[in-house]
Every structure is written in structure tokens, then in C-alpha cells.
Amino acid sequence: MADETTIWVNGRPQTHLAVADRGLHYGDGVFETMAIHAGKVPLWTRHRRRLLAGCERLGIAGLDGRQLEEEITALSRGRERGILKLIVTRGEGGRGYRPPRDAEAGPPTRLLIRSPWPAYPDHAWREGITARLCDIRLAANPALAGIKHLNRLEQVMARREWYDPDIAEGLMCDQMGNVVEGTQSNVFVVREGHLLTPPVDQCGVAGVMRGLILDEAAAWGLTAEERVLPWAELTQSEEVFVCNAVIGVWPLRRLDQWSFPHGPVTRQVAQAAIALLRNETDQPKASGP
């Protein structure tokens, strides 16, 4: 089977979008980036929950969950590895910020983009990555914090800060200098054997892998909690790693002038997460809601 990019818009193969779509004009929508493994989408339940929470937060109604799951199943089936990006926008609308009333609104726009698996280097998992601190800081906005909305300009600006291929990620702070997340990942540190990750109630994205680690840590014999993480505290951590639903867990070995070991807690979390994902059975079903 050819390894190529496939795009569906509202359930049909095509490569164009209506110019009046509010996702294009205002970033009025949400998205999920999902891994495909052995024809399935691990963590689908968590992706779906965050997607629906984002739609509810933005007031996007009318998403056909059954149809969406049928499309995800069709695009995942038969693929050993790949990336599936799902975008849901409010759909088409007239000029101006005011969205149409529910009675006036048409159905949301659904975009599904299946891409080949990225050429990540093996050493990212085995030995760890190099990262940097980004100059761009995240603005506080509790109304949008946690959800994965389409406006990613802060991350775009942060990612413009470097083109060195040896730097795999950039960490971003809030306006107070507290670490929040990476440009494409969440951050965990190990302090005195405990897992800590920054809260995302003011800014940042509540990643599905982050949520899995917080939920499952106790079953793995670990303690994990959300805690404000000043930059100085991160640099004094015993271990640091970043995570998301595609990469899983990457140890952070070097951050600017600081170095961290690929320690036992990071190894344990990475191995436990991989084992859970391999046994993941909760997949989209054609008969789903």
C-alpha cells in the first residue's frame, strides 16, 4: 500500500476547503493529532473526549459522532503506522466575528488528514532529546486553556526561533516565567521521585498522554500531581521528559546549558505507557454514538 497523504473533507476525498469557512478566517475550531498503530488509533476515547469538550467550550454544535468514527476507522484500517489529524471547524459563515445562531448554522466542517509516520530518530526514545527555552511566552486565557483550538500562533512564533535539527523541542513559559509545556508536547519533571507536571488551567493544552500518565501513575507505583513549575525549579529537577500522543515519552537530556539523566522514573513511565498503548482496545466503531 502506498505511503502517501490522504485528505478527506466532510467524508469525501478532496483537497479544497470553502473560502468562507470560519476555521480559515478565525481559527474557529479544534483539532486532534492521533497516532495510527496496526490499523487502530490508540487513546481514541481520550482524543474524542477532548475534541467534544473543545466543541462544547466554543459552542460548536451538530458534530455527527457516528459518521466521524466511521471515517476514522476507514482511514486507519490497514495502516501499520501513520498520523491522523482531525480538524473540526464551525463551518461556513458570513463576514464578521459573530458566529451564526444555532438555528442558522450549518453542520461543522470535518477534515481528516492521514500522513506518513514522521522520521523521528531512534535516539529520541533511547537516549533522549535536546531542547531549548523559547523566548515567546504563553498568554493567560482561562476561557481557552486546556482545549486544542486552532489558533496556534504562539507555538508557530516559538517554533520560528530555531532551525537547528539537533534541537527537537522548545519549552514555553507563561508570563510569570513558569514552565507550561513544549511547543508540541507536555512536560513532566521528577522531584524526589515524584512526577510533577504544570497545570493548564490558565494556558496550555491538556494533552491526552499527559492525562493518561496522571491517571495511571498510581497503578504504576508512582505519585503524580499538577504543580506550578518555575523555570528555576525545572532546572534543578532529577529527570525531565516531554510527551504527547504521537511520540509517547521522550527523555529530555539537555536543555540549554543544563543536562539531565535518562533516569529510572522516566524509563518506567515510558515502558508502562508503551505497554498500555499496545493493549489499547477502545477504538472507534462504525456503530458508535
181 catalytic? Reply is: yes
Choosing from 92, 109, 148, 266, the catalytic residue is 148
Residue 171's identity, in one-letter code, is L
**Helices 264-278 and 208-216, interaxial angle, to 10°?**
110
33 catalytic? Reply is: yes
Choosing from 69, 71, 181, 239, the catalytic residue is 181
Choosing from 33, 109, 183, 197, the catalytic residue is 33
* Burial 188-214, CB ≥16 within 10 A → b, else e: bbbeeeebbbbbbebbbbbbbbbbbbb
Cα–Cα distance for residue pair 182/185, rounded to 1 Å: 5
Kindly list the distances between the CA atom of residue 109 and the CA atoms of 32, 95, 232, in Å, as whole numbers in the listed order: 14, 17, 43
Q: Hey, is 272 helix, strand or coil? A: helix
Cβ–Cβ < 8 Å for 243, 250: yes
Residues labelled catalytic: 33, 148, 181
